[in-house]
Amino acid sequence: MSKLFELQQADGPLIFSVPHAGTDLPPDIAARLTDHARKLPDTDWHVEQLYDFAPALKATVIRANVSRYVIDLNRPPEDQSLYPGQATTGLCPPIEFDGTPIYRDGTEVKADEVALRRETYWRPYHEALAREIARAKKRHGYALLFDCHSIASRVPRLFDGVLPDLNLGTVKGESCAPGLAARIARVMQESGLTQIVNGRFIGGHITRHFGKPADHVHAVQMEKGQDCHLMDDGSNRLDPAKVAKLKPVLRRIAETMLAWRP
C-alpha cells in the first residue's frame, strides 16, 4: 500500500475533497475480491484530473488513494444509511452499485474488520480534512469545501434513467449558505450540461458532517455523471473532447465559490 491519501496544501479558503478516486487495495483484501470487483468498477475515475486547476486558485486538494471497496470515506463511521428507504452501499460495502457481490464468498465484512478498517483508513482521512478546514478558517475566517465525485450515468439499482451531468448536493440547503448555492446553480444552468440541485444525491457524510454554515464552513457535493467525461466505449478512459467542455464549468463553479463572501 502507498500512503493513504495525497494532500496538496494551499493558502486559499477552498478545499477540494476527492474520497472515491483511489484504486489501492491491500493484498489481503484484493485476494478475497471477485475478478470483476478487482477491476474497481465503482471508482470515481479521474475525478482529480478534472480539478487540476486547483493550484491556480490557491485551493487545497485532499485525494484518497485507497479504493472505496476497502472503506467508503463518504459514509458515516457507524454506517447509518444516508438515504433511508433507498438502495445504497455501506461503509465496507459487500456489493457493487448494481448489487453484484464484491467478495468471492458472497459474505459481508465482519464487525471487527470494519472497525479495523475504520481506524486504519477512514479516520486518518477525516482527521486530515478537519485539520485543513480548521486551517482555512483560521486564515480566512471561513472555509469552503467542495466534495468531488462521479458515478456511472446509468445505475438502475440506484436511480431511474440517466443521471444528469451535474448533481449539486447541499443537503437540501443545510450544508451551505443559500446565496452560495444559488450562485453555483446559476453557473450550472448556464453551462449547457444537464443539471439538478438536491436530486438523487443531496450530499454524503462529508458534506453533511462538515457543512456547518453557522460555524462558517460551507460545503457542497458535486456528483457528476460519468457520461460527460469518460469515453463512450465502456472503458474508464477520459474523453478529451468532453473534458474540454466540462472542466471550464467546474472551474467557473470554483471561482464562483471563491468570489462569494459569507
pLDDT given at position 2: 65
Distance CA 208, CA 82 (A): 10
pLDDT given at position 119: 98
Q: What is the mean pLDDT of residues 27-52?
A: 97
pLDDT given at position 262: 83
How far from 172 is each of 50, 90, 181, 201, CA to CA, in Å? 25, 22, 10, 10
CATH of domain 5-23+42-70+121-259: 3.40.630.40
Residue 92: pLDDT over 70:
yes
The structure's pTM equals 0.96
Q: What is the mean pLDDT of residues 110-122?
A: 98
Asked if 122 and 71 touch (Cβ cutoff 8 Å), the reply is yes
At 164-221, the pLDDT tens digits run 999 999 999 999 999 999 999 999 999 999 999 999 999 999 999 999 999 999 999 9
Lookup result for grid cell 428507504: 85
Residue 1: pLDDT over 70:
no
Residue 145, Cβ neighbours under 10 Å: how many? 26
At 212-253, the pLDDT tens digits run 999 999 999 999 999 999 999 989 999 999 999 999 999 999
Asked if 149 and 223 touch (Cβ cutoff 8 Å), the reply is yes
Closest CA to 205 of 112, 90, 124, 128: 90
pLDDT given at position 87: 85
Q: What is the mean pLDDT of residues 151-159?
A: 95
Distance CA 153, CA 150 (A): 9
Distance CA 19, CA 1 (A): 16
Lookup result for grid cell 462558517: 216
pLDDT given at position 234: 86
**Of the listed ranges 44-48, 82-86, 91-95, the one predicted with least confidence:** 82-86
Percent above pLDDT 90 for the chain: 95
Distance CA 211, CA 175 (A): 4
Residue 76: pLDDT over 90:
yes
**Per-domain residue ranges of the chain:** 5-23+42-70+121-259
pLDDT given at position 88: 87
Q: Which pairing describes strands 5-8 and 60-64: parallel, antiparallel, or unpaired?
A: antiparallel
